[in-house]
Structure 1
Amino acid sequence: MKYLMSVLNVMVMIGEILTDNNVSKNSIGFPEIEENNNLKNKDNRQPVFMPATCPPNELYYPGDQKDDWICDCRPAFLYHPQSDSCWSAFQRGPCAVNEYLILPKDSVIPICVKNPCGADTYVIFNGKCEMLGSISACAHLYPIVAAVGVNATTLEIDCVKLNLESRFGEGQPVPTVDRLGNCQPGSKSSVNRKCDKIKI
């Protein structure tokens, strides 16, 4: 019940912000419980899924002021300036057939590279092609439930712990990724060098 009240408080707060900013009086937002708890700001506000406000694959991130919010890429998604969109790392996205989008270690701009597996949603993991989301390749972590996915901190393929918490569950979710610095690697803010404006 305590968690449900916190969700309702966030929804009311978002409604007030949207009304104050004349964005929309009918928008509803949902806290993204599967995302990183460390993304909350100093007032304990957390990113919110706002499909009427943010483009696809973006969340509404809080700043330090009551009315300070910004749309940016979800964790493990990359901002692609040419398409002005966020795309999942290690998937085709805006790339040609048999390519996927990655973020080179020495860059803030993602690039398209050849997918060695030759099929979208397949990646090299432990020396062989595995489908993103596959739990069999991460069975060695049992009893922890994990799947092949993109680590949101390193933007590398890894076994990523799955959060099986219900959105309306009683308990608080367990954070699934850690975040370093003010911006996620590959985010729109990182590409546009606006990390110092988001104080999380």
Structure 2
Amino acid sequence: MIKTRLLLLCALSAFLMGIEAQIAFVEDADIDKKKVNLAGRKPLYSPARCPRYQLLYPGDQQLDWVCDCAPATLYYPETDACYPAYRQGPCEQGQMLVLYKEKIIPECVRNPCNTDGHFMIRDTCYEFGNTKHEGNPCPFKEYTYVLGVNPINLMVDCVKLSVQLETRISQDEAAAPPDYHIELAEKCSRGSRLLAQGRCT
């Protein structure tokens, strides 16, 4: 009788373990940029919820939001943070963070200028965002083009200087800084955390 009960108990537990092993839960569903629930939902600047250089993007569920890198910034997995492209960021002194075209993870490379915020063009170092005529390699200086990082292709380029005026009487207290390029923010863009983690389709 005891052997039968023990055998029955073992069989029942094996059966239950077999059922349990067949149940699976999806942990991180892929994010499809073209899902219907993303329509009309735009990325937000939310410094209380997202770390520096990150925006709050609509997630894959109706009320879901996720922090990810702002345009012109790169996700660096070793520190789990975003940094401006072609700047020192998490790299050692005299280096800059670069994302090569064929790569997903950015690398620290030697900055020939040896100064953060500077980039070498034809053996001359120029400062990003410099509006002084002699220190600006860009054409159309009169239209406020300066050396910077193109937020669309993550390459050093002449970009239009973004001007944001702050007043004591402000309608929008949490306005994104101009270098966040919130108007160009797109989920799962090149250099983003979600893309680096393989969570985009």
Smaller-chain TM-score bracket: 0.5 to 0.7
Does the 8 Å CA contact 1:148/1:160 hold for their aligned counterparts?
yes
- Contact 2:70/2:182 (CA < 8 Å) preserved in 1? no
- Match among 163, 166, 188 for residue 183 of structure 1: 188
- Matched letter for residue 156 of structure 2: I
Alignment of 1:129-144 (within 5 A): 129-135=125-131, 136=133, 137=136, 140-144=139-143
Gaps of 5+ in 1: 1-40, 170-174
Structure 2 CA distance for partners of 1:138 and 1:69, relative to 1, 3 Å: farther
> In the alignment, what sits opposite 2:157?
158
Runs of 4+ in 1 over 4 A off after TM superposition: 165-169, 175-179
Cα deviation, residue 44, structure 1: 2.6
Aligned residues of 2:138 and 2:147 also touching (Cα < 8 A): no
State the 1:113 CA deviation: 0.4
Q: Is the 8 A contact 1:58 1:72 kept in 2?
A: yes
Secondary structure at 2:62 match in 1: coil
Change (3 A) 1:177 1:130: farther
Count of aligned residue pairs for this structure pair: 151
Distance in 2, matches of 1:182 and 1:84, equals 17
Deviations along 1:160-199, whole A, 9 cap, x unmatched? 1123365869xxxxx89867x8522111011011122xxx
| Greater Cα radius of gyration, structure 1 or 2 | 2
Could you tell me which runs of 5 or more consecutive residues in structure 2 were left unpaired when the two chains were aligned: 1-36, 172-180
Q: What pairs up with 1:99-138 in 2 under 5 angstroms? A: 99-125=95-121, 127-135=123-131, 136=133, 137=136
Which sits farther off after the overlay, 58-67 or 101-110?
Answer: 58-67
Query: What CA distance in whole angstroms lies between the structure 1 residues aligned with 2:39 and 2:70?
Result: 20
Q: Please provide the CA RMSD for this pair.
A: 2.8
Distance 1:70 1:56 in 2: 14
Q: Does 1:148 align with 2:147?
A: yes
